[in-house]
Amino acid sequence: AQSVTQLGSHVSVSEGALVLLRCNYSSSVPPYLFWYVQYPNQGLQLLLKYTTGATLVKGINGFEAEFKKSETSFHLTKPSAHMSDAAEYFCAVSDLADKLIFGTGTRLQVFP
Amino acid sequence: DAGVTQSPTHLIKTRGQQVTLRCSPKSGHDTVSWYQQALGQGPQFIFQYYEEEERQRGNFPDRFSGHQFPNYSSELNVNALLLGDSALYLCASSQTQGAGANVLTFGAGSRLTVL
């Protein structure tokens, strides 16, 4: 069975500071990994995905994530937070690339 | 491109009632998946439809059923509603072939409240 653990249900950073949202996964097969963002009263928007190939994945809005097989991690980073980054972020894993198992989410707050 | 559209956006039902939620997939997409997102939780996979057939199903009771139409749109039906069915129901569409294969596009969801 596959699973995702997101460490930290809430993360607070100052505007301009580094954003680091942690995600660890469990999968018996090579995983497909995703990060989604959810703004209030909206659906999920894909930030980035890892399927195969380069382990450092760049996404939209300046976010990137690195697949580390040895650590079973797929942490999301952004060098400089912006107020508009405040949202809920979900890490997800899939072995078929279209049935997703989501983590419980991390709420990012950005302070001026 | 209208993306994935869902209706209704909000609805209130009472226990024991039945509800139908609707989803129109993104243009060019042929697969529709449904997820339930309880308050403060991540989305949970309910089921997926492709070629008008249920292709995969998550750990949800038979009270949850669905349908896909020839135009790829889909419905989610929930019978005998329970208080615990209160959630945001998300529809996601994808295409089985091509450059964007298997990347889900989500709708804004239908928020169901069961009283």
Q: Would you place residue B23 in the very low, low, confident or very high pLDDT band (cuts 50, 70, 90)? A: very high
Q: Which residue of B has its CA nearest to A99?
A: B45
Q: Do A42 and B108 touch (CB under 8 A)?
A: yes
User: What is the pLDDT, as a whole number, of residue B79?
Assistant: 97
User: What is the pLDDT, as a whole number, of residue A40?
Assistant: 86
Q: Does A95 have pLDDT greater than 80?
A: no
A41 vs chain B: nearest CA distance in angstroms? 7
Q: Would you place residue B32 in the very low, low, confident or very high pLDDT band (cuts 50, 70, 90)? A: very high
User: What percent of chain A has pLDDT above 90?
Assistant: 79
Question: Does B87 lie at the interface with A, CB-CB under 8 angstroms?
Answer: no
Q: Does A97 have pLDDT greater than 60?
A: no
Contact indicator for A59, A44 with CB cutoff of 8 Å: no
Q: Does A96 have pLDDT greater than 90?
A: no
Cα separation, A33 vs A57, in Å, equals: 10
Burial (Cβ within 10 Å: 0-12, 13-18, ≥19) of residue A102: buried
Burial (Cβ within 10 Å: 0-12, 13-18, ≥19) of residue A79: exposed
Q: B63-113, pLDDT tens digit by residue?
A: 999 999 999 999 999 999 999 999 999 999 998 776 666 688 999 999 999
Contact indicator for B4, A43 with CB cutoff of 8 Å: yes
User: What is the pLDDT, as a whole number, of residue A43?
Assistant: 86
Helix (H, G, I), strand (E, B) or coil at B115: coil
Contact indicator for B33, B41 with CB cutoff of 8 Å: no
Which member of A45, A90, A99 has the closest CB to residue B45? A99
Q: Does A36 have pLDDT greater than 60?
A: yes
Q: Would you place residue A31 in the very low, low, confident or very high pLDDT band (cuts 50, 70, 90)? A: confident
Which token pair is A43? Answer: 């659906």
Average pLDDT value over all residues in chain A: 92
Contact indicator for A102, B42 with CB cutoff of 8 Å: yes
Residue whose entry in the numeric block shows the structure tokens 């009283």: B115
User: What is the pLDDT, as a whole number, of residue B69?
Assistant: 97
**Of A36, A48, A15, A47, residue with least CA distance to A88:** A36
Which token pair is B36? Answer: 């339930």
Give A102's contacts in chain B (Cβ within 8 Å).
42-44
Question: Does B7 lie at the interface with A, CB-CB under 8 angstroms?
Answer: no
